[in-house]
A = this chain, B = another copy of it.
Amino acid sequence: MTAYKTFSEKDVIKYVQKLGYFKKSNNLDCAEMGDGNLNLVFRVSDTNNVSLIVKQALPYARCVGESWPLTLDRARIEAEVLLEHAKISTEHTVNVLHYDPELATIVMEDLKAFEIMRAELVAGKGFPHVGKQLGSHLAKTLFYTSDFYLSAKDKKAQVARFINPDLCQITEDLFFTDPYRENERNNIFPTSEKLSLELRTDDNLLAEVAELKAKFLNNTQALLHGDIHSGSLFVDNTTMKVIDAEFGFYGPMGFDVGSPIGNYLLNYCGSAAKWDGVQKEGHLNMLKDITRDTWNVFAKEITQLMEGHTQDLALQNPTYQARFLRSVFLDTIGYAGCELIRRTIGLAHVSDLESIDDTNARAVAEANAIALGKTLINKRHSFVSIEDVLLEAEAIIGG
């Protein structure tokens, strides 16, 4: 048993040496490179450029400081969610090599040949393969951790194992509660002030968001990643890998499918406001393709899995399965809408909007993100397919 202490770069070198990852340990280099909000992230590499990542949870939220304590148990959750998902979708989950509960530390592969998708999208790059791959990853990770596949007893044990109150509360507050009322944590660009006030009196919107929050609070459908956005997707030109699963818990499938779609659409809002001509058209088309592919491949593959691999006798009914998929679709669009709103006026912003230097362009992008978010949440019950989402995006934003 090792007592917890915050790692320095030297500590990390000793730690990986002790674990035996590097045979020739005389020339290890280590740098802290975390740009996230909650943790320390170190890269250790030797002179042959063989490298590893060591991620350590801090007992507080890094972005706020020691006044916001956070459980170290999130390192366990992150490691165990990634290991569960890697069993099901090895190719698209970062490889966890070692987890140490006392030190709240995870050793994992270094995805140095990959880039973070959000930064690349903001720079105008396209990743047309990501939609299909993520759709497939979501179908598998969500199906195989659900009541369709697991015995009720095993699934209940998994629900208990992944109860994650501290991290879920961040989402419960920042995603569903703060953006719809006065709260000092909100971060509202001056031009969006009026629109944010309008949200607070849109009764149907508030009722729909309450319903989406209630589902997040009490619908243990599957083991979610809990925070799949373009900042937790590592991509290269042919594949993608999911990282950062510390928000994992048993929740509604649509949350994991809707979060990345919301983020593609945030980039759509930003890109449409800052670019023109062929560049704009190509990029928006790429975003439409990955949005379409994420949902359509998810829907197709989970339908096949439900048809062929459902273990629960009662849940084998195809009519129920079709109705279930419809409910996941409605949740997906609703959570995507919430993501558009909370990333525009809540605490945690995204570079897709914040990197727009021109104030007028940013104002347009933010207004569009809020309008599209509202529309997705309020009108989703009339949507038939993912094309309806894209039509609304085109109608509000253009492209």
Task: List A residues at the B interface (Cβ < 8 Å).
Answer: 147, 152-153, 155-157, 159-160, 163-166, 168-169, 172, 176-177, 180-181, 203-204, 206-211, 213-214, 217-221, 250, 312-315, 317, 319-320, 323-324
Contacts and interface: CB of A to CB of B under 8 A. Distances in A.
Contact of A169 (B147, B152, B163, B250): B152
A211 B206 CA distance: 26
11 contacts: A147-B214, A152-B169, A155-B217, A160-B163, A177-B314, A206-B317, A207-B323, A210-B315, A211-B324, A219-B219, A219-B220
Contacts of A312: 177, 213
Contact of A152 (B157, B217, B317): B217
A317 B210 contact: yes
Number of copies: 2
B211 A323 contact: yes
B320 A206 contact: yes
Contacts of A220: 218-220
Given A177-B312, A204-B319, A219-B219, 17 more contacts: A147-B214, A147-B217, A147-B218, A152-B217, A155-B217, A156-B163, A159-B159, A160-B160, A160-B163, A177-B313, A181-B313, A207-B320, A207-B323, A209-B314, A210-B320, A213-B312, A218-B220
Contact of A214 (B156, B157, B319, B324): B324
A176 B314 contact: yes
A132 B158 CA distance: 39
Contacts of A206: 314, 317, 319-320
A131 B324 CA distance: 34
B221 A218 contact: yes
A176 B152 CA distance: 13
Contacts of A153: 165-166, 169
Nearest to A155: B217
A76 to B, nearest CB: 15
Main secondary structure of the interface of A (DSSP, over half): helix
A321 to B, nearest CB: 8
Contacts of A218: 147, 219-221, 250
Contacts of A323: 207, 211
A312 B177 CA distance: 9
A10 to B, nearest CB: 37
Contacts of A181: 313
Given A159-B163, A163-B159, A177-B314, A207 B319 contact: yes
A12 B198 CA distance: 67
B163 A210 contact: no
Contacts of A159: 159, 163
Given A147-B217, A147-B218, A207 B317 contact: yes
Contacts of A324: 211, 214
Nearest to A212: B314
A160 B220 CA distance: 12
Which 8 pairs across A and B sit closest by C-beta, in order of nearness? Answer: A210-B320, A207-B319, A207-B320, A153-B165, A218-B220, A206-B317, A147-B217, A213-B314
